[in-house]
Amino acid sequence: MGSCLSLLARNSIIAMGGGISSTSAKFSTQSLGLPYLSAFLDSVGTNFTHGANFATAGSTIRPQNTTLHQSGFSPISLNVQYYEFHDFLVRSQVVRKRGGVYETLLPKEEDFSNALYTFDIGQNDLTAGYFSNMSTEEVKAYVPDVLNQFQTIIQYIYGQGGRYFWIHNTGPVGCLPYVMERIPVLAGQIDENGCASPFNEVAQFFNLGLKKTVEQLRRDLPLAAITYVDVYSLKYSLISQGRKHGFTQPLRTCCGHGGKYNYNKNLGCGGKISKHGKEVLVGAPCKDPSTYVNWDGVHFTQAANQYIFEHIVNGSFSDPPIPLNMACQRKGN
């Protein structure tokens, strides 16, 4: 699962962050009738007029001091993605001036200002601490620094002409198998829906700080229109009341192997073992993923992501309560 920053123009999208960001951008483009995004690094002959995807799996806001192999978290943190974005903004206009095919493959300069920048990021910053053997109090202690760095990136984009922002808070980390299986908690710390309360409390602490950060950004950036989207409440509701909507497995992983949650960090989705000299698939997908909320212990299933997007696109979980297709407007416009 990755963090996410994406930019959604009135006629294009640019996405940054991680797996969540890419998924969010996919549903956003579909809802607006746009083609899927091409990866920024897949740049040879790619059409970027409808956007670009800077997202990488496992991204964080704060730069990590470990490799992807060591920790599972991407070295392409949010600041690196901003540098890539800035290079793209500058170089696309230089190349576009050559005319010809370049004008048909690259966005116009004004597209970067007439755009909605959407973010879904922060969860990996929390889990990176837990997986480094930090306590919940230690993780909470560095949340202000994470939010300060996030605020700086928003200010940088504003400085480059960005005016419209769609910001998701982070989800209920304590309901994810890859957290609950790897970091056991006491029985009394499991809530009525089977989630680990200590980790969800830290996520809510992060979200409270994020909302205050958004409020400060609104004061500091007078030409910006910033929408705060409460995906935490929606995701927790999906897990706690999923059976009403056909999700009979709110916590167990669809594609995995073994354990209470069908999750094993050493033998995940697609995992194989050697048996009698042959490789045998044990990390197989479930028969009906549409009844599961969680796909592989980390990411949600396509059905769950679709459910979430359909409930946030109309603005029901937004502050201010405006739909996605109206977020590129300031009050009074």
CA distance 166 to 14: 13
Given this model, what pLDDT does residue 54 score?
77
Is residue 51 domain-resident? yes
**Average pLDDT in the chain:** 87
Is residue 292 domain-resident? no
Query: Which has the closest alpha carbon to 162: 330, 333, 332?
Result: 330
199 Cβ neighbours under 8 A, 6+ residues apart: 126, 130, 136, 172, 173, 174, 179, 183, 185
Is residue 169 domain-resident? yes
CA distance 146 to 265: 26
Task: Return the amino acid letter for 41.
Answer: L
pLDDT beyond 80 at 223: yes
Number of Cβ atoms within 10 Å of the Cβ of 40: 22
Q: What percent of the chain has pLDDT over 70?
A: 85
Is residue 187 domain-resident? yes
pLDDT band of residue 2 (cuts 50, 70, 90) is: very low
For the chain, what is the domain count? 1
pLDDT beyond 50 at 258: yes
Is residue 271 domain-resident? no
Given this model, what pLDDT does residue 124 score?
94
Strand (E) positions, 256-308? 272-275, 278-281, 292-294
Using one digit for the tens of pLDDT, what is the confidence trace for 18-56?
Answer: 555 556 656 565 665 666 666 667 766 778 777 777 777
Given this model, what pLDDT does residue 32 score?
57
pLDDT beyond 50 at 126: yes
173 Cβ neighbours under 8 A, 6+ residues apart: 123, 126, 127, 179, 199, 200, 202, 203
Is residue 282 domain-resident? no
Is residue 158 domain-resident? yes
Is residue 294 domain-resident? no
Tell me the CA distances in angstroms from 92 to 7, 142, 190, 314, one per residue in order: 15, 36, 50, 33
CA distance 289 to 269: 13
CA distance 90 to 85: 9
Q: Which residue has the higher pLDDT, 195 or 16?
A: 195
CA distance 60 to 3: 6
Q: What is the mean pLDDT of residues 183-195?
A: 94
Given this model, what pLDDT does residue 28 score?
60
Given this model, what pLDDT does residue 301 score?
96
Q: What is the CATH number of the domain that holds 81?
A: 3.40.50
> What residues make up the domain containing 157?
4-242+301-326
The predicted model scores a pTM of 0.89
pLDDT beyond 80 at 277: yes
112 token code pair: 């970067």
